[in-house]
A = this chain, B = another copy of it.
């Protein structure tokens, strides 16, 4: 349950995997070398191959480990009621060391189970929410869940920019405070009125099967 779960008495296999998660996260898959990973794990390069077959094999093991970790954290904090901030807090703290790896994996389009799992959670969350609201949603629940997931992950994936732009270190309490408040603000204060939203949605429908890309409003 330690944030970094591994003192130094771990099986070599696990040490290698943890070292890889760090190296891949910090340097990226291509720049990271088996030799460096082995050195960090305090084993010979050959052993890496022995256990994981190849560099790609090692990465797959890392991905799996990441999903395993997410599920663990999830299980531990499945009380997702907004009230229990402390619980979520601790859960996130456990993930933080793996942010760099996570961010890279997601940005490269890997770690799909992780993303999908979060979408699932978002859908559950929206389901509750829809039940307790009377206004009609503009989009189907799944779309909203996917977009919400992407948005929440953006903070991790773009943490270097967020950190720099806010002038705070990013796994860090200051950042948590600023970001959480900003998000609560967005969650609680509508940026556009319902009539404007309906008008925009209608305009979109009119553009319909129209032309090429679009993704999101300016901000």
Give A contacts to B, CB under 8 Å. 3, 28, 30-31, 80, 82, 85-86, 88-90, 92-93, 95-96, 99, 103-104, 106-109, 112, 115-116, 118-119, 121-122, 125-126, 129, 133, 135, 137-140, 142-162, 164-166, 171-194, 196-197, 200-201, 203-205, 207-219
**Chain B residues, CB < 8 A from A146:** 162, 165-166, 182
Partner of A212, one of B80, B93, B129: B93
**Chain B residues, CB < 8 A from A85:** 200, 203-204, 207
> In the complex the two chains form, what is the Cα distance from A48 to B89 in whole Å?
49
CB atoms of B155 and A96 under 8 A apart: no
> In the complex the two chains form, what is the Cα distance from A155 to B129 in whole Å?
23
**Chain B residues, CB < 8 A from A190:** 187-190
16 A-B pairs in the complex with CB atoms less than 8 angstroms apart? A3-B212, A88-B217, A92-B213, A93-B211, A96-B213, A109-B160, A118-B219, A138-B181, A144-B182, A148-B182, A151-B154, A152-B215, A157-B158, A173-B214, A184-B197, A184-B201
> In the complex the two chains form, what is the Cα distance from A129 to B153 in whole Å?
25
Contact A143 to B182, CB < 8 A, known contacts A211-B173, A219-B148:
yes
**Chain B residues, CB < 8 A from A31:** 30
Could you tell me the distance in whole angstroms from the C-beta of A29 to the nearest C-beta in chain B? 8
CB atoms of A171 and B80 under 8 A apart: no
Could you tell me the distance in whole angstroms from the C-beta of A213 to the nearest C-beta in chain B? 4
- Give the copy number: 2
Could you tell me the distance in whole angstroms from the C-beta of A168 to the nearest C-beta in chain B? 10
Could you tell me the distance in whole angstroms from the C-beta of A72 to the nearest C-beta in chain B? 16
CB atoms of B200 and A82 under 8 A apart: yes
**Chain B residues, CB < 8 A from A194:** 188-189
For the complex with contacts A144-B185, A144-B186, A180-B215, 10 further pairs of A-B residues with Cβ separation under 8 Å are: A28-B30, A82-B217, A89-B207, A92-B213, A116-B165, A122-B219, A142-B166, A147-B155, A148-B186, A152-B219
From A84, which residue of chain B is reached at the shortest CB distance? Answer: B203
